[in-house]
Amino acid sequence: MNKRIKAGPSILAADFSNLSVEIKRAEDAGVDFLHCDIMDGHFVPNITFGPAIIRDIRKHTKLILDVHLMIEKPRKFLEAFVKAGSDIITVHIETVERPIQLIKEIKELGLKAGISLNPRTPVKDIAPVLNMVDLVLVMTVNPGFGGQEFISSCLSKIKRIRRAFSGDIEVDGGINYKTAKMAVEAGANMLVAGTYLFGSDNMKGSVEKLKDIKV
């Protein structure tokens, strides 16, 4: 299956004191979406930002806002993130008691819904929602921080998911040109890269390189 490759930066690696400039930089580089990492200090050992920042980002861009909820009790905050202007909401299977219900709710609100799994979470755990979600976000680092090293044992999970799922498979964590190529070969088509893209002197060139990966 050859799906078009989409690439987007995680704004976690942006300069938050200059966010509108950073967003413009990403837009000019031709990214397909902006990946927004929401961390609560409970599910992951770090805190980032909440719906108010998403709302302000929404005012500055028409790019797809791909919101990755690394928070406990995501349902409690769903409405706030929808109102703020998210386009895609991805929740972690490890955080949801009734995943079928929650995915249904996200879709009924008119958004795209994603399910994510940590490196140590087996693929079978997401099986109940695989025929409902628009995307599967395969974590390729333990969530919590940008700038970590890609865990290559996650590649076999991507392959397994791709055999059963025709939607978007997104990879997140430690993505650069080399690891992106491995992930695309395994079946991923949506690439999140924080450090690699925001750290690049030529973001446009780096985005083009990612989107041009051939398998």
Quote the CA–CA distance of 98 and 96 in Å, as a whole number.
6
**Quick one: 68 or 162, whose CB is closer to Zn ion?**
68
The answer to whether residue 144 forms part of the interface with ligand DX5 (CB under 6 A) is yes
Cα-atom radius of gyration of the chain, to the nearest Å? 16
Shortest distance (Å) from residue 211 CB to ligand DX5: 16
The answer to whether residue 93 forms part of the interface with ligand DX5 (CB under 6 A) is no
Q: Which of 8, 51, 114, 143 binds ligand DX5 (CB under 6 A)?
A: 143
Determine whether 134 is an active site residue: no
Q: Which of 6, 68, 112, 162 binds Zn ion (CB under 5 A)?
A: 68
User: Which string of DSSP letters, residue by residue, matches 113-147?
Assistant: EEEEE-TTS-GGGGGGGTTT-SEEEEESS-TT-SS
Residues 17 to 76 in contact with ligand DX5, rule: CB under 6 A = 35, 37, 68
Q: Which two tokens stand for residue 148?
A: 């970590």
Choose one: 19-27, 53-61, 90-98, 167-175; the region binding ligand DX5 (CB under 6 A): 167-175
Query: One of 37, 40, 66, 168 is an active-site residue; which one?
Result: 37
- CA quadruple 156, 91, 61, 63: dihedral sign: positive
Determine whether 15 is an active site residue: no
Q: Which of 146, 168, 191, 213 binds ligand DX5 (CB under 6 A)?
A: 146
83: three-class secondary structure by DSSP: helix
Instruction: Pick what 148 binds: ligand DX5, Zn ion, none; C-beta below 5 to 8 Å, kind-dependent.
Output: ligand DX5
The answer to whether residue 172 forms part of the interface with Zn ion (CB under 5 A) is yes
Residues 178 to 197 in contact with ligand DX5, rule: CB under 6 A = 192-196
- CA quadruple 15, 16, 20, 23: dihedral sign: positive
Alpha helices in the chain (DSSP H): 19-28, 51-60, 74-83, 99-108, 155-164, 177-186, 195-198, 203-211
Active site residues: 37, 172
Interface with Zn ion (CB under 5 A): 37, 68, 172
